[in-house]
């Protein structure tokens, strides 16, 4: 049983990340939100945001209600999709502004946030691959296809959200580009899991310029004028780094 192995450090870390992600949205509210009410809680009022978040939250709740191996894998996959797809249309919004010389300091903060999210992506990517290696009978073709369909649903939610918040009004971020960008990322994420890609028609990165903004190590700055961001912790990232 997968759940019997949660006593090891790395599995406990992933388990706690899963539980935290599933609970923080419903149990924690910032003081300002408690004082001011719904104005600070758009995830409860905006139908697009609510639908997008509900998809992930329901997968968490499924595991809370029935803690079996299949639901644990589904929850790990939900976390992987949350970290690897759900933030990226929002990230690209700030990078598009920075490309125009606007809100560049904010874009730098977004780079740090993205770096943290990528750490989580690697964590859940490796957990899912390890779970598959150790439990081949669980990862049947039907179950893998279910996980791929989860990814397809997450892609649809993120595309709709990105198009909703930009509405073709941001230079360099048309609805078509957002659509192709999120699908490109989804293909890349599926490949890293060892799954078949979802969108074979998407073969090239539609927003290659984003990489130059999102890569901290590509950023050059005067050491005495600004906080240095272009450093590399290690050449590779594995569980030892987490």
pTM of the shown model:
0.74
The tally of domains found in the chain comes to 1
Give the per-residue pLDDT at 130. Answer: 96
Q: Grade residue 49 by pLDDT with cuts at 50, 70 and 90.
A: confident
Q: Is residue 168 part of a domain?
A: yes
Is position 230 within any domain?
no
Task: Print the domain residue range for 124.
Answer: 9-20+42-217
Q: Identify the pLDDT of residue 35.
A: 54
169 or 186, higher pLDDT: 186
Comparison of pLDDT for 152 and 167, the residue scoring more: 152
pLDDT one-digit tens code per residue, 204-222? 999 988 887 766 555 444 4
User: 100 or 4: whose pLDDT is higher?
Assistant: 100
Mean pLDDT across the chain, nearest whole number?
Answer: 80
Which class for 146: exposed (0-12), middle (13-18), buried (19 or more C-beta within 10 A)? middle
For residue 125, the model assigns a pLDDT of 96
Would 164 be classed as within a structural domain? yes
CATH number of the domain residue 176 falls in: 1.10.620.20
With both helix axes pointing from N to C terminus, report the angle between 104-134 and 69-84 in degrees, rounded to the nearest 10.
160
Q: Residue 185 in contact with residue 84, Cβ under 8 Å?
A: yes
26 confidence band (pLDDT: 50, 70, 90): very low
- Residue 28 in any domain: the answer is no
The band of 100, judged by pLDDT with boundaries at 50, 70 and 90, is: confident
Nearest to 101 by CA among 40, 171, 49, 47: 171
Q: Would you say residue 227 lies in a domain? A: no
Closest by CA to 194, choosing from 236, 238, 136, is 136
- Whether 235 has a pLDDT exceeding 80, the answer reads no
In a domain, 235, yes or no: no
pLDDT over 80 at 161, yes or no: yes
pLDDT at 68: 95
Q: Give the CA angle between residues 184, 189, 191 to the nearest 5°.
A: 95
**36 in a domain, yes or no?**
no
- 126 belongs to a structural domain: yes
Is pLDDT of 17 > 70? no
**HSE-CB for 208 with a 13 A CA cutoff:** 3
């Amino acid at each position: 049983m997968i759940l019997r192995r949660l006593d090891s450090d790395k599995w406990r870390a992933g388990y706690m990340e899963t539980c935290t992600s599933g609970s923080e949205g419903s149990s924690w509210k910032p003081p300002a939100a408690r004082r001011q009410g719904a104005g600070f809680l758009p995830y409860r009022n905006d139908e697009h945001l609510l639908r997008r978040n509900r998809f992930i939250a329901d997968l968490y709740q499924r595991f809370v209600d029935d803690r079996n191996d299949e639901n644990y894998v589904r929850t790990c996959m939900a976390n992987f999709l949350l970290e690897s797809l759900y933030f990226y249309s929002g990230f690209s919004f700030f990078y598009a502004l920075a490309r125009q010389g606007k809100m560049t300091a904010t874009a730098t903060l977004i780079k740090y946030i993205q770096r943290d999210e990528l750490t989580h992506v690697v964590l859940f990517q490796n957990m899912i691959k390890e779970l598959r290696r150790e439990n081949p009978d669980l990862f049947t073709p039907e179950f893998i296809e279910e996980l791929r369909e989860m990814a397809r649903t997450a892609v649809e939610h993120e595309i709709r959200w990105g198009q909703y918040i930009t509405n073709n009004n941001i230079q360099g971020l048309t609805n078509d580009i957002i659509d192709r960008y999120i699908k490109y990322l989804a293909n890349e994420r599926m490949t890293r899991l060892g799954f078949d890609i979802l969108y074979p028609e998407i073969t090239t990165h539609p927003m290659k310029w984003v990489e130059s903004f999102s890569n901290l190590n590509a950023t050059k700055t005067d050491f005495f004028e600004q906080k240095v961001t272009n450093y590399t912790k290690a050449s590779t990232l594995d569980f030892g780094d987490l």
